[in-house]
Structure 1
Amino acid sequence: MSWCDIGVNFTDQRLSFKTVFERALAAQVSHIIITGTNLEKSQKALHLAEQHPNHLSTTIGIHPHDASQFTLETINTLKTLAKSKQVVAIGECGLDFNRNFSSPQEQLFAFEEQLKLACELGLPVFLHERDAFDAQIQLLSKYRNELKGGVVHCFTGTIEQMHSYLDLDLYIGITGWVCDLKRGQDLREAVKSLPLNRILLETDAPYLRPKGLANNRKLDKGNNEPAYLPFIAAEVAALMATDIHTLQVSSQANSRALFNILNKRADHGK
């Protein structure tokens, strides 16, 4: 039995693909979903995934920070990329009213267009949200009945927010934020009531290196890596009052169900 990391930014230059990928496989993280955040990075992510089809998949989409670049022509490009079997979700898409690198109006337009595209293609969505919960829930509710599903990537919210997402039949993506005893208190409480059939695990590497992880800068240069997913899982299992094997089986089953990945070849690393 192995692990699936549903969110890795392999297009980030801080991650040396070959060595990080090898360490992931050695840690039994046998499948990784690369995160696409704009057209250029989505194309690069897809190129990587197609080189390692048994171990890598990718999302394609436009992050809210890049929503100002979104045009109707963007949809046509995403449709072309989505023809690949390695594409398993639309995103990272959503709303971020914290930094507003793109205006709220631009973000709302780009998000809704990507929701429409996901519905049209029968793909789930890979969601980002920061300081925009009410607006995000409103748009997701509008398309709930047409969406194949989705995951709230890197969820850090409250138990109330988590249950609002669960009410929309979404999965919850848990990162190393859960290991932060100070900033992660809301998430740590929420995870205690997260159903096993709705949890997905991710590192968001190279970001969000888990607190409490042994320092090994000679190896990883201080970055987070998919090889550290089992460390995160151990903390999650303790909070959920379950054993690590049960969490592993459940998170793998959820990855299969949402993204239609992890065949037998990938599970056994062949």
Structure 2
Amino acid sequence: MAGITKKFIDIGANLTDEMYQGVYHGSKKHEPDLELVLKRAWEGGLTKMIITGTSLSDSKTALELAKTNNNLYSTVGCHPTRCGEFEKDDTTPETYLENLLQLALDNRQKVVAIGECGLDYDRTQFCAPEIQRKYFEEQISLAEVTGLPMFLHCRNSAADLVKILSSHREKIKGGVVHSFDGTKEEAQQIMDLDLYIGLNGCSLKTAENLAVAASIPAERLMIETDCPWCEIRPTHAGHKHVKTTFPNKKKEKWESGVMVKSRNEPNCIVQVLEVLAGIREEDADMLAETFFKNTQKLFFNSENV
């Protein structure tokens, strides 16, 4: 990967996932290799990564990992599918929310957003929509108190997400709807709220996805991997635009220095860029620079670009 000049910031990296510890569906397949994953990322042009916090405990883990490297940061929040944790027997909603707030306030140098929070109507078996909406609104208050932007989740729920965000618009200091796979109309509604749109492999699966992604102004876009998920697969409509490939082996045949097949990594963010450059017929270097500046502006406003 010598000679790379592009700079990337992965806004959504689930580096706390046990796959990076060699564990898949509860079964140990190989030794922990997160350090190797990070090494590949830095060599691939990543300058920063934001580790996603999806619950109180996971946000703590993400934060601890972020503290191990100057270029790692984290979010603090509760994913819509885990909002039932606010009402667990060993806590109260008020205590859970206060603990999230304190975690963010006590670690301002590392916590760059409130989230991952939002709505997910595709997986309501984990948490009912009315519970999701209630605790999404509660977390908007965290963004108001901290002044941090929001890292937002939206699955088959754009109408309600936009409605809630609109009603609390004055409390929000910006944000991004990550892993976006909605319509052009939904993208416009999100942009009308002065929010950014984050794209990854899950955003580029179908011809319809590509048409939407090509229509969004580059100044409103950010890119991510959402690793270890959302890889760009050969079956995806956008795959034909991928230029950079990596050697890989099945997890059962794990080898140091080689990527695990079907496990996404931050260094694969270049493929997201290549698909977007291809479908938009734009220069990849110029796009990369725009996405980098967008991300710096939202999450790292106090730092020099």
Tell me how far apart the structure 1 counterparts of residues 260 and 286 of structure 2 sit (CA, whole Å). Answer: 32
Q: How does 1:59-98 map to 2 (within 5 A)?
A: 59-70=75-86, 71-83=93-105, 84=107, 85-98=109-122
Tell me the secondary structure at the aligned position of residue 215 of structure 2: coil
The answer as to whether partners of 2:179 and 2:203 remain within 8 angstroms in 1 is no
Number of the residue aligned with 2:259: 220
CA contact (8 A) 2:246 2:259 kept: no
Deviation of 1:187 after TM superposition, in Å, equals 1.9
Please say if 1:2 is aligned against 2:7.
yes
1:194 corresponds in structure 2 to 216
Alpha-carbon separation, structure 2, partners of 1:116 and 1:178: 28
The one of 47, 52, 68 aligned to 1:35: 52
Distance 1:40 1:65, change over 3 A: same
CA distance in 1, matches of 2:177, 2:232: 19
Give the match for residue 145 of structure 1: 170
After the TM superposition, which residues 1-270 of structure 1 pair with which residues of structure 2 at under 5 Å, given as runs? 1-15=6-20, 16-53=33-70, 55-70=71-86, 71-83=93-105, 84=107, 85-100=109-124, 101-180=126-205, 184-212=206-234, 216-217=248-249, 218=254, 219-222=258-261, 223-260=263-300, 263=303
Shift of 1:225: 0.3
Preserved CA contact (<8 Å) 1:159 1:187: no
- 2:299 partner amino acid: F
* Aligned-partner Cα distance in 2 for 1:179–1:170: 20
List runs of 5+ in structure 2 lacking aligned partners.
Answer: 1-5, 21-32, 87-92, 235-244
**What SS does the aligned partner of 2:12 have?**
strand
How much has 1:262 moved relative to structure 2? 9.0
Q: How many percent identity over aligned positions?
A: 36
Identify unmatched segments of 5+ residues in structure 1: none
TM-score by length of 2: 0.82
AA aligned to 1:191 is A
What amino acid sits opposite 2:259 in the alignment?
A: D
Indicate conservation of the 8 Å contact 1:60/1:78, yes or no.
Answer: yes
CA distance in 1: counterparts of 2:274 and 2:122, whole angstroms: 31
Distance of 1:215 and 1:163 partners within structure 2: 38
Higher relative contact order (CA 8 A, sep 6+): 1
AA in 1 matched with 2:147: G
Compared CA separation, residues 179 and 187, structure 1 to 2 (3 A):
closer
Given the superposition, is the C-alpha separation of residues 228 and 168 from structure 1 closer, same or farther in structure 2, using an over 3 Å criterion? same
Q: Rg bigger for which structure?
A: 2
Q: Deviations over 1:32-62 (max 9, x none)?
A: 0000001111001000111112x11111100
Between 1:148-157 and 1:10-19, the stretch displaced more is: 10-19
Structure 1 residues 39-86: Cα deviation after superposition (integer angstroms, max 9, x where no partner): 111001000111112x11111100011111111111211122112111
TM-score, with length taken from structure 1: 0.92
Distance 1:10 1:171 in 2: 23
TM-align CA RMSD: 1.6
1:131 & 1:125 partners in 2: Cα distance?
19
